[in-house]
Chain A
Amino acid sequence: MSWEPVIGLEIHAQLQTKSKIFSGASTAFGSEPNTQACIIDLGMPGVLPVLNREAVRMAIAFGLAIGARVAPRSIFARKNYFYPDLPKGYQISQYEIPIVGKGSVRILLDDGTVKEIGVTRAHLEEDAGKSLHEDFHGMSGIDLNRAGTPLLEIVSEPDMRSAKEAIAYMKTIHALVRYLRICDGNMQEGSFRCDANVSVRRRGDPIFGTRCEIKNVNSFRFVERAINFEIERQIDVIESGGRVDQETRLYDPDGNETRTMRSKEEANDYRYFPDPDLLPVVVDDALVAAVRESLPELPEARRERFMAQYALSAYDAGVLTAGRELADYYESTVAAANGEGKLAANWVMGDLAAFLNREGREITDSPVTPAMLGALVNRIADQTISGTIAKKVFELMWNGEGDPDAVIARHGLKQVTDTGAIEKAIAEVMAANPQQLAQYRSGKDKLFGFFVGQVMRKMQGKASPEQLNALLRDKLAP
């Protein structure tokens, strides 16, 4: 029996405003508990929420980026439930008329194909506080600093058919919100969170199976594992004659399994109704046009432009456009390298990425600037240095020795293209290795590499590889 998983995601992206969605309290992460929770966030009697314009602007930017209609009029509603980290007893959210309507994104799959995933809607809402369940004499501790932080909840269509597709979609949205600079995407700090709706059906079945919702999984890797575990669990239940119950499940990364959190019978009945404290949000054409004007080039368009403009593969272009800062760095490097797109790409994705990774640095914090890397690429292209020597130059630049020309001059790394010098080295190597020479001349071609290595060593790696090869082949010939 062949089974087909059906997956939809709800992503909560914290909008990176300075102040909260309905109050003037700070949204900074990591402050002392409850020092950023004002009377509005605490739901004190008599307070009134006032909407943050920047949160609205960010939601519009997202809507435009996914080709969705931005609602000219949207409504805030109260979602009612009781939990101690929700002081008002309701969350201000949007229900019947969200600010962003139906749109879509295109995801790039491992085999290079592109798939369109529908986005049902995206709406503005406030985040709740945090409950700390460590032991406070049998009580729970509540920190309301996060209460009232603006969230954009992005709801997908059930268009994904594997955990891999779900991750590709999640990464696409993650890159998009970071390009738009509306969310920092930090999953450890909870700025970007995901709930997954998973069901399975027999392949070809027109109707969906019963779905389970997996709550709040906080890394790409765990989302993939949680979905895969859940798919297997549901198939096992059905194949052993059981029935999947609609329920909310929690993923446990330690045991790599999902567990029941609440069943449908206990499901919340939120009794949404329009919040009488807030009037409709009206977005006029002028505001939409202004936001559209401010949109950066988006990842997909940039990826395609990189492929066309710099002759990069889909893979290279995908890696280089995954983050806006990385793409900016790459383009500055190419500009400094007289348009050497492919060579610049190899250096950015190769040595630079490896050094950044090793030291846990961000691209914006690289000691080697795009101007320096571009100049290094130029020195390789004009054959001042070989690719091997360039690695050495790169490391010296990384360690603060300045631009490549200075490093090459100071350490005498300029490539030797003087035929006489190379011929001299070849003659010495041949004289020192008569046995290998005889073997080579009697047909042991593999020894060519041995001679290349010996001559290169004698010249401290500075010989032009092409020239060395040509001269050596000539001299070694019987």
Chain B
Amino acid sequence: MSLSKQDVEKIAHLARLQITGEQIPGFAAQLSSILTFVEQMNGAETTGVEAMAHPFDTPTRMREDIVTEINEREAMQSIAPAVEAGLYLVPKVIE
């Protein structure tokens, strides 16, 4: 499986990674080899095998509906780059 330049650009955009034109052939080759590696699984016989969603064959544990967390805003916001009026500030997301 071989990825095109456009595939690599799209993947980078979806991951919000900025890459340069010179980097594309290298990434294309690396990603393609990962896909080729994974593709080997297509050769396995899976007829009658139920698809798994997780390697552990056990159901999820559930918790009771109880509030256990306390307000730790001050501690959380002490490591944020910008806060105001209790809000986390981020670069403007709409015009």
Chain B window 60-95, contacts with chain A (Cβ cutoff 8 Å), 1 for yes, 0 for no: 111111111101110011000010111111111110
**Once bound together, how far apart are the Cα atoms of A52 and B64, in whole Å?**
6
Residues of B with C-beta under 8 A to A274:
53-54
Given contacts A279-B54, A282-B59, contact A34 B87 (CB under 8 A): yes
Residues of A with C-beta under 8 A to B66:
18-19, 24
Binds B, one of A25-33, A183-191, A435-443: A25-33
Chain A proximity of B6: nearest CB distance (Å):
13
Residues of A with C-beta under 8 A to B72:
38-39
- Whether A140 lies near B67 (C-beta < 8 A) is no
Residues of B with C-beta under 8 A to A140:
89-94
- Whether B65 lies near A54 (C-beta < 8 A) is yes
Chain A window 127-151, contacts with chain B (Cβ cutoff 8 Å), 1 for yes, 0 for no: 0000111001111111110000000
Question: Quick one: which of A25, A36, A83, A133 contacts B92, CB cutoff 8 A?
Answer: A133
- Whether A18 lies near B65 (C-beta < 8 A) is yes
Given contacts A26-B69, A140-B93, contact A32 B62 (CB under 8 A): no
Name the interface residues of A4-62: CB closer than 8 Å to any CB of B. Answer: 17-19, 23-26, 32-39, 42, 50-56
The reply on A343 being an interface residue by CB < 8 A is no
The reply on B42 being an interface residue by CB < 8 A is no
Q: How many residues of B contact A (CB 8 A)?
A: 35
Residues of A with C-beta under 8 A to B91:
139-140
- Whether A84 lies near B90 (C-beta < 8 A) is yes
Residues of B with C-beta under 8 A to A208:
none
Chain A window 397-426, contacts with chain B (Cβ cutoff 8 Å), 1 for yes, 0 for no: 000000000000000000000000000000
Chain A window 71-94, contacts with chain B (Cβ cutoff 8 Å), 1 for yes, 0 for no: 001010000101110000000000
CB closest residue in chain A, given B88? A142
The reply on A446 being an interface residue by CB < 8 A is no
The reply on A281 being an interface residue by CB < 8 A is yes
Chain A proximity of B37: nearest CB distance (Å):
18
The reply on A449 being an interface residue by CB < 8 A is no
Residues of B with C-beta under 8 A to A133:
92-94
The reply on B58 being an interface residue by CB < 8 A is yes
The reply on A452 being an interface residue by CB < 8 A is no
The reply on A269 being an interface residue by CB < 8 A is yes
**Once bound together, how far apart are the Cα atoms of A404 and B88, in whole Å?**
58
CB closest residue in chain B, given A32? B86
- Whether A279 lies near B88 (C-beta < 8 A) is no
Chain B proximity of A52: nearest CB distance (Å):
5
- Whether B92 lies near A50 (C-beta < 8 A) is no
- Whether B73 lies near A84 (C-beta < 8 A) is no
Question: Quick one: which of B14, B68, B76 contacts A269, CB cutoff 8 A?
Answer: B14
Given contacts A24-B63, A53-B64, contact A36 B71 (CB under 8 A): yes
**Once bound together, how far apart are the Cα atoms of A38 and B60, in whole Å?**
21
**Once bound together, how far apart are the Cα atoms of A201 and B61, in whole Å?**
48
**Once bound together, how far apart are the Cα atoms of A133 and B65, in whole Å?**
33
| A residues in contact (CB < 8 Å) with B | 17-19, 23-26, 32-39, 42, 50-56, 73, 75, 80, 82-84, 97, 131-133, 136-144, 269, 271, 274, 276, 278-282
19 A-B residue contacts at CB 8 Å?
A19-B65, A19-B66, A19-B68, A24-B69, A25-B67, A34-B76, A34-B86, A80-B14, A84-B90, A97-B53, A136-B84, A139-B90, A139-B92, A140-B92, A140-B94, A141-B88, A142-B87, A269-B10, A279-B61
